[in-house]
Structure 1
Amino acid sequence: MWMRREGESRVNCTGSSTLPFGWVPGCTQSLSWLFVHAKRGKEAVADLLDYKGLLVSDFWSSYVKLPCGHLFCGAHLLRELDYLGTVLKLGWASELKKLLEKAVSACHRARERGNPVLWNRTALVEKFDALVAKGLRSEPVGKARALLKRLSRFGDQYLTFLFDLTLPFTNNEAERDLRMLKVKLKISGCFRTFEGAEMFCRLRSYVLTCGKQGLDELACLRSVFTGPIIMPSF
């Protein structure tokens, strides 16, 4: 399951005492669930405390604390490494970025060939660990130090995709599900009420889920008003 919280900008609900956040707490290849919540912490993801599957997320602290398996988004990691390598000129960051890009390409080729596993996955992990150790020996500070400490502790959760070719490298599935919410805000600027934001998320959840299951989205929307309602599988 992919997860995404829209924490970079709040969903402006004019007339509400709070400015809630838009979330994609549940997203698979066949289901989507969007909602808004006034909080951005553990209260917003409380419904997932019993989830025992694998969670693909962007390392938001509220997700990390959930008692389930984790796979952290590689796209977010690549952006951090790009900054450290390009702007701060840290050699280990550039090498690590190239290694991850090589690993992703290797996974793509393995899937195309129908290979069940990536033959050099262990070697890639060893190179990853060696570069993290190299970075730590350079006595980094600031963002570089924070990232290296995270990779040292959670490296396995970033590299899980190497050991299961059915897993994604990123949480882009959730990013795509959230995109229309951002488009709505760019056009309208806000939701006038909290209830309006909730209705928008319910509608998008329904349309996205129907689309992922191969149903005619327009026909599904029409059925909501004319009946009988076309319901996707859950």
Structure 2
Amino acid sequence: MRVAGKLHWVHCARTDKYTLIDCHPNRGRAGIDALGVLPGFGGVLVHDAWAPYDSYTSVTHPLCVAHVLRELQGVIDGVPAGQWSWAAQATDALVALHTLATQAVAVGAASLDPAELAAQTRLLRHAAHIGISQTAGRGTKLMAARHALACRLVDREDDYLRFTRNQRIPADNNGSERDIRMIKLRQKVSGCLRTLAGARQFCAIRSYLSTATKHHISLFEALVRLAEGNPWTPS
């Protein structure tokens, strides 16, 4: 977010019932700590593979499948048409695993089909190992990035596939991106905020409205109660 003519960062922590958003000049650990959630958190944290999140050792770290699918698509886009790509096989396996997980939830199954789970996991693993071998030269920054991607799929396979073993864990953190979308829309329409205090106030209002919406409280009702000095608060 552009604040007072400089680049700032929006930090978001959310569940299906609560949203907390704030703005900070720092993208890393200082900004995350200022949000006040992760320093004392001991649950499950779904995120992309950005390194500062891993410094919080008291939490479980499922990695976002949507993020890695976008990375894999970048690799696929660079492959000539009709040519086999390790990234395409990895993508197909991840999509198949997500479909299996969705179907299991829909029919009330306690777990995924073991044979299908094993087969798709094997395809994913094989694709990543081929990717490692094909990018081992790391002669350019792009090749090094793709090598790191393939290595991450192997090294953190358990984190990427936690959603296949625990149905309460989502496969992605798209909910966080939805919760901050209005902030990006506001900036697109109205431009940057003039002060950090104003940016933080706007984030606080968005946190309030997003949480109210998740509890089926209308935006109008939530805003009226806020204006009257009697803001809605979840029980």
TM-score tier, shorter chain, comes to 0.7 to 0.9
CA RMSD of aligned residues (A): 1.6
> How far apart are the structure 2 equivalents of 1:28 and 1:65?
21
Residues 184, 139 of structure 1: alpha-carbon distance in 2 compared, 3 angstrom cutoff: closer
Which consecutive residues of structure 1, in runs of 5 or more, have no partner in the other structure? 1-10
1:53 paired residue among 43, 50, 55: 43
Paired amino acid for 1:126: R
Identify which range, 42-51 or 198-207, moves more after superposition: 42-51
Q: In structure 2, list runs of 5 or more residues that go unmatched.
A: none
Which residue of 196, 199, 206 corresponds with 1:197?
A: 199
**Equivalenced residues, count:** 220
CA contact (8 A) 1:86 1:94 kept: no
Sequence identity, in percent? Answer: 30
Name the structure where helix makes up a greater proportion of residues. 2
Aligned to 2:176: 174
From 68, 73, 77, the equivalent of 1:77 is 68
In the alignment, is the contact (CA less than 8 A) between 2:96 and 2:120 conserved in 1? no
Q: Which residue matches 2:148?
A: 146
1:86 Cα deviation (Å)?
2.6
Using structure 1 for the length normalisation, give the TM-score: 0.88
Letter of the 1:79 counterpart: R
The amino acid across from 1:218 in the alignment is: F
**Structure 2 residue 150 is the aligned partner of structure 1 residue 162:** no
Displacement of 1:133: 1.9
Deviations 1:114-159 (A, max 9, x none): 1111113333323322222222233443222111121222111111
Q: Which moved more, 1:35-44 or 1:84-93?
A: 84-93
Are 1:110 and 2:101 counterparts? no
Return the match for 2:7 from 19, 31, 37.
19
| Aligned mates of 2:127, 2:231 — CA distance in 1 | 55
Match of 1:54, SS? coil
Partner residue in 2 for 1:38: 25
Deviation at 1:227, TM superposition (A): 4.1
Partner AA of 2:124 in structure 1? F
Counterpart selection for 1:132 from 128, 135, 143: 128
Structure 1 ranges of 4+ moved more than 4 A: none
Aligned pair in 2 of structure 1 residues 227, 45: CA closer, same or farther (>3 Å)? closer
